[in-house]
Structure 1
Amino acid sequence: MTHHYEETLPGGGHTSLVIKKGQILRLTDSDGGANVSLMLFNAHEKSERLNLPDTLKGQHTARLGAGHCLYSDMGRVLAAIVTDTCGWHDSFGGVLNAAEVAEKYGKGRYQELRNGFHRNGMDNLLVEMGKWNLMLEDLPMVLNLFSKVTVDEKGRFTFHSQHSAPGSMVELYAPMDVLAVLTALPHPMDPEPEYSPRPVELSLREASDPQGLTLCKTSRPENLRAFQNIERFAV
């Protein structure tokens, strides 16, 4: 299997890349307990981006995993989750800003910690977005891969620690050219008091007929229509 791109995203790191039509991005939680905050944009028209409310409503679930699709605000599939050994990915938690990270973990300044300083999700994502001429007003909701958050009957959130085991993996198939922006930082609801972001392995490969794509297209009638919209409004 030929990989076009492989990278270890260190804990606290951030990156961005274009997943071309017909390619799969694999993310692997090598050590366990990782969290990756992910944003998706139409690579050719970045005003079109991931819409998590539509993603959840269209598929009648708040638990995203294999067989689910990630919708854009134009009703198209930006990515399909074709493989998933983790079983649950969170769409509620968002990311922390600098003040929230300082409140939770302490100041963690570069002056004392050098490259181990406490990074925050908002700034990390904005750094990557700036490389693509995107700014704060372009910051959408994020999907937190490898994290599980449940909601009880009274609307209370519960974060499930160590949900992702070492080696857990998720694969995202792109049916259109997609810009992915991501950062590897602790989930905002993670109760761990120490700042300890975990690394994630990334790889990109061609997959014109990926296993699991049929399930994504057929798990909900809305999904098939969202795939059809890709051709109807092709860029």
Structure 2
Amino acid sequence: MLTHIPRTAEAIAADRARYEEHQRKGLTAAPSALPAPSPRPAPEPTEVLGHLTIPGGWYDVLHLTAGERLRLAPEALGVSVSIAAWVAADPSERMNLPDTVKVQWTTELRKGRVVLTDMGRVLFSITEDSTGGAHDVLTGGSGAAAPFTPAFRSTRENMVLAVAKLGLDKRDLPALITFFAPITVDAEGVLTWNAERTQPGDWVELRAEVDMAVALSATRHPLDPCPVPEVPATQVQRLAALPVAADDPCRTATAEARRAFENNSRI
């Protein structure tokens, strides 16, 4: 039987000091300025490999080869797109948002940031983003208690159905990132929807850094106050790979990102 040994105030203070010093070094090494938001509307894409429309409240799955890009563009305000992703060759390695947030010292994932796996590799990079980071890594989309109607489909129900199509189980679902969901959290932990941060014509583009499987759910975010009952559709395009520059901001923005890309090269 394990016995709990209470920690002294001095030990707790020492741990806090070590953490704050580590945080200071991380923030000092972080970029002072990431790339500016992408323009609205999105430029016409080239080398489109595939296109699909996700109706409001629905879901879909797809596979990307390393280097290929995934462009998401809601047709109107009132829909947020949640994503879960896995390494295609071994889905036990999956998207890990807690580590993604910790190593980059921010919950604001935007153009120039990366999303990690639970093995410390880069799963995908955010190469374009017109919102400047108006995305949600905290809420996880709507749960099973949400009204299950064409206008208000549950993110959880969609994801459970999506992973089944990939041959996975709901236990394989990681924490989700939800794009086009302008959530901020204050010092008291209160989540707030900031509608002015998203606009018609918003879009994001993600670059696969490994071969990966992706599940997408396009539904109303539980904090979205949009009064319109219908949920707009989302346009999804799979685009061919482009050459990656040596100074690509996603690969050079932080020391942690550089190490994660080094992990990619070791496999």
TM over 0.5: yes
Query: Counterparts of 1:75 and 1:142 in 2: how far apart (Å)?
Result: 17
Change (3 A) 1:225 1:68: same
The corresponding residue for 2:169 is 135
| Residue identity opposite 1:156 in structure 2 | V
Q: Give deviations 1:145-183, integer Å, cap 9, x for gaps.
A: 011111112221111236321111111001110111011
Q: Cα deviations across residues 11-46 of structure 1 (Å, max 9, x unaligned)?
A: 111001011111000111221342001111001100
2:115 match: secondary structure: strand
Instruction: Kindly tell me the number of residue pairs found equivalent between the two proteins.
Output: 221
Q: How does 1:1-235 map to 2 (within 5 A)?
A: 1-88=46-133, 89-98=135-144, 100-102=145-147, 108=149, 116=150, 118-161=152-195, 163-192=197-226, 195-210=229-244, 214-232=248-266, 234=267
Structure 1: distance between partners of 2:253 and 2:185: 23
* Partner AA of 1:176 in structure 2: V
- For structure 1, list consecutive stretches of 5 or more residues without a partner in the other structure: 109-115
Q: Tell me by how many angstroms 1:229 deviates.
A: 0.6
Q: What RMSD, in angstroms, separates the aligned Cα atoms of the two structures?
A: 1.9
Task: Report 1 or 2 for greater relative contact order, CA contacts < 8 Å, sequence distance ≥ 6.
Answer: 1
Cα-to-partner distance string for 1:110-165 (whole Å, 9 max, x where unaligned):
xxxxxx36421111111110012211211111001011111112221111236321
Q: 1:165 to 1:211 in 2, by over 3 A?
A: farther
**TM-superposed deviation, 1:93:** 1.2
What letter matches 1:152 in structure 2? D
User: Runs of 5+ in structure 2 lacking a partner?
Assistant: 1-45
| Contact 1:29 1:165 (C-alpha < 8 Å) held by counterparts | no
Contact 1:151 1:158 in 2 (8 A): yes
CA distance in 1, matches of 2:245, 2:238: 15
Q: After the TM superposition, which of the residue ranges 64-73 and 83-92 deviates more from structure 2?
A: 83-92
Larger radius of gyration: 2
Q: Does the residue aligned with 2:158 lie in a helix, a strand or coil?
A: helix
Asked if structure 1 preserves the Cα contact closer than 8 Å seen for 2:152 and 2:220, the reply is no
Q: Deviations over 1:179-229 (max 9, x none)?
A: 110110111222346643221111111123257971011111100111111
Identical amino acids, percent of aligned pairs: 34
Aligned equivalents of 1:51 and 1:82: distance in 2?
19
Aligned amino acid, residue 66 of structure 1:
K
Partner of 1:112: none
- Supply the distance in 1 between the matched residues of 2:80 and 2:250 (Cα, whole angstroms): 23
Amino acid of the structure 2 residue aligned with 1:178: M
Instruction: Confirm or deny: 8 A CA contact 1:76 1:226 kept in the other structure.
Output: yes
Q: Amino acid of the residue matched to residue 163 of structure 2? A: M
- The alignment's TM-score, normalised by the length of structure 2, stands at 0.78
Query: How far apart, in 2, do the equivalents of 1:185 and 1:176 lie?
Result: 27
Q: Is the 8 A contact 1:4 1:204 kept in 2?
A: yes
